[in-house]
Structure 1
Amino acid sequence: MTTTTRASSYYRTGEHPHPEFELRRLREQALMFWPKELRTFQQLGLRPDWDVLDAGSGPGFITGQLLDAVPEGTVTALELDEGLLAQARSHLGPHEGGRLRLLQGSITEAPLPGAQFDLALARLVLQHLSQPAQALTELNRLLRPGGRLVVADADDAMWGSVHPAIPGLDEVLATRRLHQAKRGGNRHVGRAVPAMMRAAGFGQITVEAVTVSSDELGMNALAGHLDVRARMSLLVKEGVIGQERIDQIQDEVDAFLADPQSSFVLLMFLYSGVKEQGERR
């Protein structure tokens, strides 16, 4: 399949037809997964004095949570898109210059010296990269010996579930998957992460599944992830799928959301590994 040369398959600033929706969705996604993610980080040994890298930090919603999780440590947010970094600065700016650094740069070629972090997190980033293996090698460079990498990402073959079925949902998700591949991304990257981590010099690989559900949080908390009219608007804008078909699928989604018996589960994987060189400081 032919791919387009891009730094990332994610939306550039100004590219999404509904940027306010997308920012709201990202914030909701970050906050609803975070309690379970944090428990996993703590099980993996997260300490309050660690120096943490949020690699591909986007608008900084997880960055803020990490800052709270390491009250005696530091957090560096690295983000390629200047617009997303500006969004992070809009709500994290008061913390910058103390325990927080907000830095513009690429996860595959970071403007940082090596061996300075205890934990590096790449959250929903690798699926957007044309060279995810290069990113993992770079994150290995940035970690101290014995430092830990956590990759949080998805595999569209196991993205979650809806009950009852939404007839057009699989169609639109497949269309999005192919379109992201043409932009240089890979929504099946999750299955390849452990092998790429080993090749990049990480050992002690673990994999955890993290789920959130409408039965736990209420359907309203997850409904934005089924808003195909807003989420797939770039596909319409670029002529990948017609607005009429999107409207038909949105009608199916609306019927699903209106059914009090409906259930929706979202799934993300946390892949962890340790830099296999020496001992932690």
Structure 2
Amino acid sequence: MAENDPEHGYLLDNRQTEAGVRFGALSELFDPVTFRHVDALGIGAGMRCWEVGAGGPSVPRGLAERVGPGGAVVATDIDVSWTQDVAGGVIEVLAHDVAADPPPGGGFDLVHARLVLVHVVDRAEALRRMVRALRPGGRLLLEDADPGLQPLLCPDESGPEQRLANRLRSGFRSLMAARGADLAYGRTLPRLLREAGLEDVRADAYFPITSPACAVLEAATVRQIRGRLVAAGLATDEEIERHLANVATGRIDLATAPMISAWGRRP
């Protein structure tokens, strides 16, 4: 998800070159988790789904496979440049701000947002709009990071490479917080879903510690924000180059922040 205001909202602009690399890595890391939940919720033929802050194309495509020709998938984002190519058939792609624009019409059997709300300044309003878009019996599945639960890029801080990685990750978190990101948002999702009136609320967490996709994601992320890290005095160009070289060796164990998945049903 992207924000139009360069000083607020999402730090990782969808329009940057590295965004496609990040979307691919996020898909590899988290699509199996997302679709495990989607399938457990019984999303299938003929249903209508709203994918909020779609970013890359993989989740809309996976939802379209499940709902079939009799269903519908509406994929929305402020910046739809990475999803517009999947429009057609049952997938409709719309430029849309979940916290400001009315929800797409028609009602939905599933509303899903992954790694979106933590970056939205008015996330409470966004959540209200998503709940209102559900049909009776419809399911809301929210998946968001909680960097505060595990703040380290290298939980096994065994040497200078790992210490540098963790310091740069701390700088990234500082930049996110300065833009209004709630670094402890993921853990609040079950309570927020209950307070929104949803029933049968459940949640779990996924926390990859070592994966080639973690390294791809880290390199793309650092390249995307390196200018801001340097401008803020959080790192030097030399440190960033050294870190990227360390990541490229494949010999340091990189983690992601835990992703909390929470789901509930509208009565």
Q: Please classify the TM superposition score into its range, dividing by the shorter chain length.
A: 0.7 to 0.9
Q: CA deviation at 1:144?
A: 0.5
What do residues 40-63 of structure 1 show as CA deviations (whole Å, max 9, x unaligned)? 221122223211000111233321
* Equivalent position to 1:220, from 191, 212, 230: 212
Q: Distance in 2 between matches of 1:52 and 1:211?
A: 26
**Structure 2 counterparts to residues 109-148 of structure 1, below 5 A:** 109-112=100-103, 116-148=107-139
Question: Which residue of 2 is the match for residue 55 of structure 1?
Answer: 52
Question: Which residue of 1 is the match for residue 29 of structure 2?
Answer: 32
Contact 1:6 1:184 (C-alpha < 8 Å) held by counterparts: no
Query: Does residue 77 of the first structure (1) align with residue 78 of the second (2)?
Result: no
Aligned residues with identical type, % of pairs = 24
Query: Does residue 168 of the first structure (1) align with residue 164 of the second (2)?
Result: yes
Q: CA deviation at 1:192?
A: 2.0
What do residues 220-258 of structure 1 show as CA deviations (whole Å, max 9, x unaligned)? 333112326414324236434232332343344345x2x
Question: Which residue of 2 is the match for residue 275 of structure 1?
Answer: 266
Q: CA deviation at 1:265?
A: 4.5
> For the structure 1 residues 163 and 199, does the alpha-carbon distance in structure 2 shift closer, same or farther, using more than 3 Å as the test?
closer
Structure 2: any 5+ residue segments left out of the alignment? none
Question: Which residue of 2 is the match for residue 230 of structure 1?
Answer: 223
- Structure 1 residue matching 2:182: 3-state secondary structure: coil
Aligned-partner residue type, residue 142 of structure 2: V
Structure 1: any 5+ residue segments left out of the alignment? 277-281
Q: Distance in 1 between matches of 2:45 and 2:36?
A: 13
Q: Distance in 2 between matches of 1:119 and 1:223?
A: 32
Aligned-partner residue type, residue 152 of structure 1: E
What do residues 158-199 of structure 1 show as CA deviations (whole Å, max 9, x unaligned)? 358646421122222221112112112223211222222223
Q: Distance in 2 between matches of 1:187 and 1:33?
A: 19
Question: Which residue of 1 is the match for residue 180 of structure 2?
Answer: 184
**Structure 2 counterparts to residues 77-96 of structure 1, below 5 A:** 77-81=75-79, 85-90=80-85, 92-93=86-87, 96=88
> For the structure 1 residues 12 and 33, does the alpha-carbon distance in structure 2 shift closer, same or farther, using more than 3 Å as the test?
closer
Contact 1:33 1:212 (C-alpha < 8 Å) held by counterparts: no
> For the structure 1 residues 28 and 5, does the alpha-carbon distance in structure 2 shift closer, same or farther, using more than 3 Å as the test?
closer
> For the structure 1 residues 52 and 240, does the alpha-carbon distance in structure 2 shift closer, same or farther, using more than 3 Å as the test?
farther
What do residues 93-145 of structure 1 show as CA deviations (whole Å, max 9, x unaligned)? 4xx2x311111111123344556100000110011011111111000111101
Aligned-partner residue type, residue 235 of structure 1: R
> For the structure 1 residues 151 and 140, does the alpha-carbon distance in structure 2 shift closer, same or farther, using more than 3 Å as the test?
same
Aligned-partner residue type, residue 222 of structure 1: C
> For the structure 1 residues 117 and 234, does the alpha-carbon distance in structure 2 shift closer, same or farther, using more than 3 Å as the test?
farther
* Equivalent position to 1:65, from 62, 67, 76: 62
Aligned-partner residue type, residue 212 of structure 2: N
Contact 1:164 1:263 (C-alpha < 8 Å) held by counterparts: yes
Q: Normalising by structure 1, what TM-score?
A: 0.79
Question: Which residue of 1 is the match for residue 12 of structure 2?
Answer: 11
